[in-house]
Structure 1
Amino acid sequence: MMLDRKTVIQTVKAVLAADLACDEADFDVDGVSIRQAEIRGGRFRFPIREQSLTIVTMGRGVVVSCNRERLEWARQALGNEADGQIFAARTVGEISAFVQRDKQLLAGPDQKYVCSSADLKDFPIPDGINLVTYKDNDIVGLYRHAAFKHALSFRSDSARSDRIATVAERGGTIIGIAGASEDCGRMWQIGVDVLPEYQGMGIGKAIVGTLTKAVLNEGIVPYYTTEVGNLRSRQLAASLGYWPAWIQMYAR
């Protein structure tokens, strides 16, 4: 199944609106929208904390989603900020100080990338590397390989189950894994790990590219998360045709 860029963007917007309990239009208008967090169908399957705070932008409007007790603070502290300043160091510091009162940490800002069928770029498979792709129950057998903690959930009972994994082998030894977790019905998250001694050889690009193609063939939007400061990870995503779709930070 082919997913074009327009369809991917529409999917991201719909899932984020469900996740933040906001209107899709909130992402397309200037300014900051404050919304009370609630569980809606179609959202990501991450739990909503009792003391919740999530801040997202797709490039224009900013959406702040939080529990009811934090709404007034959010309106006073963030509601009148210019949307471009929400992720500035000063504002991030103020938000971090606020959530620390509840013994929470502010995670992010994280950069979220997505890819479409048309945008996925060709990628080489390094010489001597064999790639194998597993699906669903066949992935459980990979859980004994504990070195690849960023690629797999290692939980067969996870609410965000591992759906597809691409494995890189050399001489019969697994040296890299890229996995896709079913974070919601329409978007699966890509994670990747390559053993340190094999990094920088193009293995990560090969397994993420192969996995991305498999996810897109399922009619699902693949997304990839990296910290803003992780330049190597961001370069990997961009080299395969992923583009930045949204920025997010949240209290945990």
Structure 2
Amino acid sequence: MEVEIMEFNKSKILEIVRRQLAIDMNCNPEDFINEGIVFCEAKLNQGRRMFDRQSPFLEIATMGKSIVVSGDSEILAKVKPLLENKTREDIFVAPFIFGHTIYYVPDYSRLKKLPMPSGFSYHIKEGNETHDLYEIPGFENAIQYDKSHPRPDVIAVYAMYDDEIVAMAGASADCNLMWQIGIDVLPRFRNRGLATSLVSNLAIMIMERGILPYYGTASSNISSQSVAYRSGFIPTWMCSYKNIFDGKAPYDNDIKIIF
């Protein structure tokens, strides 16, 4: 049964995010609205977002107040004394993490279907139909290109110019509560409003199914952040991207600073 989009509001959206992050990080939803730092041992809980995890695992997240640090027990024992008296800003520049991801959810007061730019045709594929698009390279942010992916593609909305697909927004079923949106536009068709229109329309399609859409981008990717904002999304949480404990941090073997 299709769920009306009106069942969503700001309070419900934030509640869903807290519930999902609590599953992912093995903490309580309330941990994200209190002050201070919460340390919790990581577990592969049922219902988590099906991302690959580094081993050893450490992830740090905030929704703006508290900071939740989730990690394997041996890592927590080492990093807790280093972090427990630090500010939020200091924690997120700790030398053992690198990269930050900002996640967005719909701003209920601004989200609306934006008109599609003229001169293009628009198409939708759902479920297994999205596999037809795997033959077309260049849209790695929008679709998985993997029929057996643990976060399967569920919807793709794309724009065509003549006989060519030039822009695509896709949704992956990361978990039961939330589907993630990714967007790609071919370089010569950018700055025409395709990204914001596709993302906003896809977001509403997802919410009409009773699922919360979300959008993630690197903290340095200003263009992607602009798309999120123009599409009716608002930044809601930030988390560390990776840690260095597996020895795969960029520049680890390249930079030797000598004073």
Fold shared, TM-score > 0.5 on shorter chain: yes
2:75 maps to which of 70, 74, 86: 70
Identify which range, 113-122 or 13-22, moves more after superposition: 113-122
Is 1:44 the counterpart of 2:35? The answer is: no
Coordinate RMSD, CA, aligned: 1.4
Q: Which amino acid in structure 1 is aligned with residue 11 of structure 2?
A: K
Q: Which residue of 1 is the match for residue 150 of structure 2? A: 159
Report matched runs for 1:64-213 at 5 Å. Answer: 64-87=69-92, 91-92=93-94, 94-96=95-97, 106=98, 108-115=99-106, 118-213=109-204
Contact residue 34 and residue 74 of structure 1 kept, 8 A: no
Give me the whole-angstrom Cα distance separating, in 1, the residues matched to 2:65 and 2:107.
Answer: 21
Q: Which amino acid in structure 2 is aligned with residue 248 of structure 1?
A: C
2:38 maps to which of 33, 39, 43: 33
Report matched runs for 1:10-21 at 5 Å. Answer: 10-21=15-26
Give me the whole-angstrom Cα distance separating, in 2, the residues matched to 1:30 and 1:83.
Answer: 11
Q: Which residue of 1 is the match for residue 217 of structure 2? A: 226
Secondary structure of the 2:125 match is strand
| Runs of 4+, deviation exceeding 3 Å | 116-119
Q: Which runs of 5+ in 2 are unaligned?
A: 244-259
Aligned residues between the structures:
238
Secondary structure of the 1:180 match is strand
Give me the whole-angstrom Cα distance separating, in 2, the residues matched to 1:138 and 1:117.
Answer: 30
2:27 maps to which of 16, 22, 29: 22
Secondary structure of the 1:119 match is coil
Q: Which amino acid in structure 2 is aligned with residue 119 of structure 1?
A: R
Give me the whole-angstrom Cα distance separating, in 2, the residues matched to 1:236 and 1:216.
Answer: 19
Give me the whole-angstrom Cα distance separating, in 1, the residues matched to 2:47 and 2:66.
Answer: 21
1:7 maps to which of 12, 19, 32: 12
Give me the whole-angstrom Cα distance separating, in 2, the residues matched to 1:81 and 1:116.
Answer: 31
Query: Residue 116 of structure 1: CA displacement?
Result: 5.4
Give me the whole-angstrom Cα distance separating, in 2, the residues matched to 1:42 and 1:83.
Answer: 28
Give me the whole-angstrom Cα distance separating, in 2, the residues matched to 1:248 and 1:109.
Answer: 6
Report the TM-score, using the length of structure 1 for normalisation.
0.90
Contact residue 106 and residue 232 of structure 2 kept, 8 A: yes
Contact residue 33 and residue 63 of structure 1 kept, 8 A: yes
Give me the whole-angstrom Cα distance separating, in 2, the residues matched to 1:45 and 1:213.
Answer: 23
Give me the whole-angstrom Cα distance separating, in 1, the residues matched to 2:131 and 2:158.
Answer: 13
Q: Which amino acid in structure 2 is aligned with residue 72 of structure 1?
A: A
Secondary structure of the 1:178 match is strand
Q: Which amino acid in structure 1 is aligned with residue 190 of structure 2?
A: Q
Give me the whole-angstrom Cα distance separating, in 1, the residues matched to 2:134 and 2:35.
Answer: 45
Query: Residue 114 of structure 1: CA displacement?
Result: 0.5
Query: Residue 122 of structure 1: CA displacement?
Result: 4.1
Q: Which runs of 5+ in 1 are unaligned?
A: 97-105
**Percentage of matched positions with identical amino acids:** 32
Query: Residue 121 of structure 1: CA displacement?
Result: 3.0
Give me the whole-angstrom Cα distance separating, in 1, the residues matched to 2:110 and 2:129.
Answer: 29
Query: Residue 17 of structure 1: CA displacement?
Result: 0.5
Query: Residue 117 of structure 1: CA displacement?
Result: 5.3
Secondary structure of the 2:24 match is helix
Contact residue 113 and residue 204 of structure 2 kept, 8 A: no
Report the TM-score, using the length of structure 2 for normalisation.
0.88
Contact residue 112 and residue 204 of structure 2 kept, 8 A: no
Query: Residue 118 of structure 1: CA displacement?
Result: 4.8
Identify which range, 195-204 or 72-81, moves more after superposition: 72-81
Q: Which amino acid in structure 1 is aligned with residue 38 of structure 2?
A: S
Give me the whole-angstrom Cα distance separating, in 1, the residues matched to 2:216 and 2:127.
Answer: 22
Query: Residue 31 of structure 1: CA displacement?
Result: 1.4
